Amino acid sequence: MKLFIVCFFSSICFLLLQACSSSPAQNYTVVSHTKIALPDYLEQYIGQDVSSIRRELNLRQFGYETLGAPIQTPNQLSYTIVRRIQIPTPMPTMLSDSSVGAIPIPTHTPFYDVQLECQVHFLLKDNIAQSIQYRGKACKGY
C-alpha cells in the first residue's frame, strides 16, 4: 500500500512537471508597444512627394518587410509588403497506455511558415501622393 501511494504521488508530480515544461514554444517578436494599423501609418504619407516616401517609409518597425525595391510609374509608387507568420500545428494526441512517463517526441516542425503579401499603391499626381490603394487578400488583415 505504501509503495502504491509513493508511486502514485511520484507519477502525479512527474506529470505536473512534464505538463509545465512541455508547453509549445512560442516565438513572438515585440515590435512596438503601441499598436498602430498599417493604413493609419501610411496615411501620413498622403501629400508628400515620392522622394520623401521612399526615404522615410519604415515598415520594419511594425514587423513588415518589402519584397524588392518599390516600383514607380508616373501615376503610382507601389510596394509589395510581406508579413511572415508561423501557424502552430497541433501536437499528436498520445494514446493512453500503461507507460505513465511516456514523453511525446515531435517528428516534424511544430509550425507552418506562411508569407502574407499585400500590394500598397500610392496614387500620384505630379509626384505627390494623393491617395492609397491596397490589393491582395492579405491586405484585409492589416
**Res 100: pLDDT:** 62
Quick count: other Cβ atoms within 10 Å of Cβ 40? 9
Provide the residue-wise pLDDT of the chain in tens; the chain has 142 residues. Answer: 665 554 555 555 454 445 444 444 443 333 444 567 888 889 999 999 999 999 999 888 877 888 889 999 999 999 998 877 888 887 665 555 555 666 666 566 678 888 888 999 999 999 999 999 999 877 766 5
**Residue-level pLDDT at 138:** 72
Give CA separation, 12 vs 16, 17, 48, 104, 107, in Å: 6, 9, 65, 17, 26
Phi and psi (nearest 5°) for 42?
A: -75, -25
Q: What is the pLDDT of residue 42?
A: 92
Q: Domain locations in the chain?
A: 34-90+102-142
pLDDT of residue 61: 82
* pLDDT for 119: 94
Q: What is the pLDDT of residue 33?
A: 41
Give pLDDT, residue 45.
96
pLDDT computed for residue 97 by the predictor: 55
Residue 28: its pLDDT value, please? Answer: 38
Q: How far apart are CA 124 and CA 64, in angstroms?
A: 23
